[in-house]
Structure 1
């Protein structure tokens, strides 16, 4: 049976770097840090590779994110894998990478959803199970 953790997070740093500005697209790398409140309480570091289309709009990204802190009172860490195949209606998928849980979070699997409000704030839902 799965459990849902909910809360909010703040982006505390955003460090972009352009890697390649070739014809039709720009490739970049971004390092992001976040602070979580709610069911998840802690910090994360995101390492993202991105593609912007010729107009400069985000077209796709992949990322890995290491969360460290507490999940519903259980201490440890785990890694999330992000996959956003495009900006033309494709679905963003974020999942817990199996085998990356540590300490009390060993054996965690699940799916993560980011909700962005009109005011720019972010909340999340993490549906998970612990083996």
Structure 2
């Protein structure tokens, strides 16, 4: 049974670079740095590519390398993001990339959910297993 933890996070930086903007269709490349507090303590750096369509649909995919302490164990791992939204409904998938855990986080696997709250804060809920 997976272990579940929750951590708050803030963005230390968010930098968007427009790749394409033609007739309302946009593609944007974003780099970011996050700081996690709570059950996961550390930072991450990542990059995403986002697409915005004229009719309001949007999608993104990206990767984020987390360097942190999780359950007293220090190391890093990569989160893979994939999400889309159309007509007000959407879905997202965030998973720990296979074999990406390092140091004391080797063997880490699992999924994550990201929630953006009305006050602008964010929460990451990580459900994970660790096989050594």
TM-score (norm 1): 0.93
Q: Separation in 2 of the partners of 1:36 and 1:106?
A: 20
Q: Which residue of 1 aligns with 2:84?
A: 85
Q: Which residue of 2 aligns with 1:44?
A: 44
Deviation (angstroms), 1:21:
1.1
Q: Which residue of 1 aligns with 2:9?
A: 9
1:1-131 aligned at under 5 Å gives the runs 1-54=1-54, 59-88=58-87, 89-131=89-131
Q: Which runs of structure 1 show a deviation greater than 2 angstroms over 4 or more consecutive aligned residues?
A: 85-88
| Structure 2, unpaired ranges of 5+ | none
Deviation (angstroms), 1:58:
6.3
RMSD, aligned α-carbons: 1.4
Q: Separation in 2 of the partners of 1:7 and 1:27?
A: 30
| Contact 1:40–1:71 under 8 Å retained in 2 | yes
Q: Separation in 2 of the partners of 1:49 and 1:23?
A: 19
| Structure 1, unpaired ranges of 5+ | none
Deviation (angstroms), 1:115:
1.2
Q: 1:27 to 1:4 in 2, by over 3 A?
A: same
